[in-house]
Structure 1
């Protein structure tokens, strides 16, 4: 799940939702909504198949075997890394072993530098000895073996003139950069479950612009905001270049407390550090907030601190290809087999843990759902296609590339001020250009919110789908699946589908300790998984994609977005405001 910039990666920008609404408003002036097949009032459910899926998924589950192979054996799967390539190959082979058709890897484009952490250690040698929790930041260069050096504390630098105060003072020093975080001694418990009241709130459609519920991850709809954020990220590149030019030995930043080390691109010295032309010039690690605070306090009292630091990393190429793992169960109905229902999650992860909950859980839920459907000898009328995406954490690259190559293309702003912003956050400027397969995708179902059970599903404002999902979910209520929300959610792999007018959905998951402990941290490991919750999620995923693949009609769609008209949203529209002044 993209969330590096969440507090300041998670929704598609609200202007895109406005574009969807605008496309219907524009019908009177010649832009019409997409034609839809008549939907039945009552869904036909195969309750025998519901029971078979449930029995297979709960009593014959293989999901923890997939977890052991992917998390314990292969480990963390940073985009472009040798481990992600190994995971792509392994998941392809697992799909083949299940008996799925057309299991293969598909490129979504050139990513950037391959990189892996070999090992990182931080030891205080003076004024006392201590072992500190530490992790290399993604795409950090290595130190020259273990270095032992004095530490110097430098506050956060805001502009280039701030460099002057530190010139000539950094040679051979380990830089402790930024303020020491304050740690709450009365922190709330790590584990959280959605109760009935909270689920009811999620189920209520908001009238406040989607504010108020953090689990929706709705990002600000303000280009100026993102320009400011990424201008700050770009300045971090200048800071690291300054430290390197002053011959500092390494850089340390705070990374989390209570035994949890949070480590993603938000800690690196720039967003685009995975690109060769943005390569970070100085070795960097995150250390525990408690260690950072101890060092900071000592230095503030003029007590010299010396560390033995060893950051071991390896680069494996400047232009590593990005890959998705794809496989399918072919449709059995001659009239419908060319239509497709998709499911998936992202296979890439960060590197501090083993990527078990973000989003290894979503990947193995999708794998297990496909295994269940094969095990119960399902014969869906439409083709069911699973996709395990790469590059989600850096910009939803894998799913966006797949949508671009198969379904539709988008146009983004080329304004100079927006070039510092990742493409998926830039203003869209042109119409959605459709490809023939756009008409053949019924829907995509995604999992990317940790290990918690599926408690419901977001419809992304698709009013027509709500009653369908209600009927599909009714026989699953005893498993805890209760909430159908018209709200949107974002910052993960259903978003590229929704952006081009295709039904893309994310499930509502019980949060457990995803946000508080495992998300992008060293605690994102096998032990954070809940086996019963994963089994339940795989059963519901398998059931939903089976229902979508066997009903007579494709899933209803929202109107096709018209992002090229968003800039006109504040102007009077001819035909809608008859008394508007015409120039």
Structure 2
């Protein structure tokens, strides 16, 4: 009899476990219906991009977007909506004017964008002059230019030539690629990188040269520095930082990133001895009254007496670079995450666990917002000294790979979650979302949670134009968003959050990582 009772108890436990892993069809249907009939995801994206503008961390535009998001989340009924400081960041910065044109041997406007945290051209009037071409490839060859660059317009010789692209900018993930991801095995332990001494040495040499170049510019004080990122063509400018944002960092000279086509034309003319002149007026502004960095946080409180102190988190980074309005990187992800919690509120959902949305700042400079949130609330990966709240976070879900629809999810080495996520994706298999891969993926905010043993996940997305055209470029605008993809992603994220909030157990965890004292953050 005892064996029969035990067998019956085991069957009941299995049935309960299975029932909690099977998605609620009625809930999925309601989420899809709400998104189909009343979607707000593109309106959210509009306010974060066209209305707010570029959202460089600590800039007025970022703070405008953050305050709008906080107010909007509160208006939907989320509680504890706030801008939470995570620590010192540094100076804010925005561009206020950027004009440059070649005036000799003929007139032509030039496509250019100031590099973040760089200065202005001297004086209140437009500057005019020829170009000094620096033919330096290493730190030693920079010495020859000492004492010759003050108030000059300068550019650095580059060997790169534009290469035509024979591949389309936009693409969906092929079935073969997804199948390969699904079959992947974990070959490198989470948090480790394969050794590549040659690549590391080359990287360190480039970093050393760039530091010495920056030092030369700060000492010589040229009027304007012209820069190039050879990745760009057809008028696309890949542009990020060029100066320092620390409280006491010196303000460097005006430094603008040109389109590759314009830069290489100027270089050829100057190198051939053709008289070349340009006129330019570049004005930027630094902001140092508030040096703190801020995240946007809001919650749907849990209702289960036993589980309400546990938390399901979702988020994406709100900050962007300055070249455009940061639509695919990462207003898209923030819009989806905000829309996901709106969907849940629209259903009058009463979660067992608390649901917490976070929109991060400082991601582009080093995952600062999420890493400091984790350090302030959950634990320090350097020492692996954990806080009590670390045990209460069931999972963190992130979105930060552009506008493409969700095709699946990265397990981040957490094999125990595979059956669960496979089941949760089943209602969306017909929409192309079915792939569960053991693979790790990096470069964004789920890593901060994974680093202290909290299940942190990033969704697989179609690349669309992300790496080819929009990522960190002047093309990263609202018009490159795909509405139907963002709607699909919003429903999937909402369903994952719903399922995580309602199950009896927290999401299974991997083995706690070892302390990373002295190691480079991942």
Same fold (TM over 0.5): yes
Structure 2 residue 429 is matched with structure 1 residue 485: no
Aligned to 2:500: 548
Q: 1:124 aligns with which of 102, 121, 125?
A: 102
Aligned to 2:5: none
| Partner SS state of residue 118, structure 1 | strand
Aligned to 1:179: 158
Task: Tell me the CA shift for residue 203 of structure 1.
Answer: 1.5
Q: 1:233 aligns with which of 174, 191, 207?
A: 207
Aligned to 2:350: 379
Tell whether the 8 Å contact from 2:311 to 2:353 is kept in structure 1 after alignment: yes
| Partner SS state of residue 425, structure 2 | helix
Tell whether the 8 Å contact from 2:247 to 2:288 is kept in structure 1 after alignment: no
1:208-242: per-residue Cα shift (whole Å, max 9, x none)? 549xxxxx999666799668635643542332332
Change (3 A) 1:322 1:226: farther
Aligned to 1:164: 143
Aligned to 2:239: 263
Q: How does 1:97-108 map to 2 (within 5 A)?
A: 97-108=75-86
Tell whether the 8 Å contact from 2:186 to 2:439 is kept in structure 1 after alignment: no
Structure 2 residue 175 is matched with structure 1 residue 196: yes
Change (3 A) 1:91 1:230: farther
Structure 2 residue 308 is matched with structure 1 residue 356: no
| Partner SS state of residue 70, structure 2 | helix
Tell whether the 8 Å contact from 1:180 to 1:289 is kept in structure 2 after alignment: no
Tell whether the 8 Å contact from 1:180 to 1:293 is kept in structure 2 after alignment: no
Change (3 A) 1:217 1:290: farther
Tell whether the 8 Å contact from 1:241 to 1:282 is kept in structure 2 after alignment: no
| Partner SS state of residue 398, structure 1 | helix
Task: Tell me the CA shift for residue 283 of structure 1.
Answer: 1.1
Aligned to 2:476: 524
Change (3 A) 1:176 1:474: same
Aligned to 2:129: 149
Tell whether the 8 Å contact from 1:113 to 1:320 is kept in structure 2 after alignment: yes
Change (3 A) 1:563 1:275: same
Structure 2 residue 41 is matched with structure 1 residue 63: yes
- Structure 2 gaps, min length 5: 1-12
Q: Which moved more, 1:555-564 or 1:494-503?
A: 555-564
Structure 2 residue 227 is matched with structure 1 residue 253: yes
Q: Which moved more, 1:41-50 or 1:68-77?
A: 41-50
Change (3 A) 1:340 1:64: same
Tell whether the 8 Å contact from 2:314 to 2:337 is kept in structure 1 after alignment: yes
Task: Tell me the CA shift for residue 40 of structure 1.
Answer: 2.8
Q: 2:463 aligns with which of 490, 504, 511?
A: 511
Distance in 2, Cα, partners of 1:291 & 1:562: 49
Distance in 2, Cα, partners of 1:289 & 1:218: 35
Task: Tell me the CA shift for residue 185 of structure 1.
Answer: 2.6
Task: Tell me the CA shift for residue 318 of structure 1.
Answer: 6.8
Task: Tell me the CA shift for residue 498 of structure 1.
Answer: 0.3
Q: 2:381 aligns with which of 407, 410, 415?
A: 410
| Partner SS state of residue 39, structure 2 | coil
Distance in 1, Cα, partners of 2:247 & 2:360: 23
Distance in 2, Cα, partners of 1:349 & 1:477: 32
Q: Which moved more, 1:376-385 or 1:236-245?
A: 236-245
How high is the TM-score relative to the length of structure 2? 0.91
Q: How does 1:206-221 map to 2 (within 5 A)?
A: 206=185, 209=188
| Partner SS state of residue 288, structure 2 | strand
Q: 2:264 aligns with which of 269, 287, 293?
A: 293
Aligned to 1:78: 56
Distance in 2, Cα, partners of 1:372 & 1:399: 24
Distance in 1, Cα, partners of 2:181 & 2:291: 40
Tell whether the 8 Å contact from 2:157 to 2:267 is kept in structure 1 after alignment: no
| Partner SS state of residue 302, structure 1 | coil
Q: How many residues get paired? A: 501
Tell whether the 8 Å contact from 2:188 to 2:194 is kept in structure 1 after alignment: no
Structure 2 residue 415 is matched with structure 1 residue 435: no
Tell whether the 8 Å contact from 1:178 to 1:253 is kept in structure 2 after alignment: no
Superposition CA RMSD, Å: 2.4
Task: Tell me the CA shift for residue 99 of structure 1.
Answer: 0.8
Distance in 2, Cα, partners of 1:54 & 1:182: 48
Q: How does 1:461-476 map to 2 (within 5 A)?
A: 461-476=413-428
Distance in 1, Cα, partners of 2:250 & 2:517: 37
Task: Tell me the CA shift for residue 455 of structure 1.
Answer: 0.3
Change (3 A) 1:55 1:530: same
Aligned to 1:576: none
Distance in 1, Cα, partners of 2:412 & 2:336: 21
